[in-house]
Amino acid sequence: MSPPKINPMTVVDSVGDSVVSVLGIFPTIAENIARNATNYAGAVRNDLESIKREMPKNPLIIPKVAVGIIGQTLGAGIGMFEAVTSGVDKTFKDVKAQTRRLTG
């Protein structure tokens, strides 16, 4: 049984697509992190506005909001990790698809 014929143009195209996928990890991760940071900033800003609205009538709002902000900060940290790992995962899937394209 002879090995399958591989079109050289397919190899060049597949390698090019793989390079683009690998280099594309950087803007993908940056966009994911930026989205996460924007969501975090908006949530914290809303919490701070609630302190302004409630003070001085309701001073108990301060610890309540502080605990909420701590939780949001932890969540944002986890979100940053997820932003990086999802970018890496997407890149690996893209490169794997290009490898399958060549190997069948």
Model pLDDT for residues 33-71, shown as the tens digit of each residue: 999 999 999 999 999 999 999 989 999 999 999 999 999
> For the CA atoms of 19, 80, 45, 65, what is the dihedral angle to 10 degrees?
170
Rounded average pLDDT over 14-19 = 86
Structure confidence at residue 3 (pLDDT): 66
H-helix or E-strand spanning residue 78: helix 61-103
Output the DSSP codes for 9-75.
HHHHHHHHHHHHHHHTHHHHHHHHHHHHHHHHHHHHHHHHHHHHHHTTT-TTHHHHHHHHHHHHHHH
Residue ranges of the domains in the chain? 44-99
pTM over 0.85: no
Structure confidence at residue 101 (pLDDT): 80
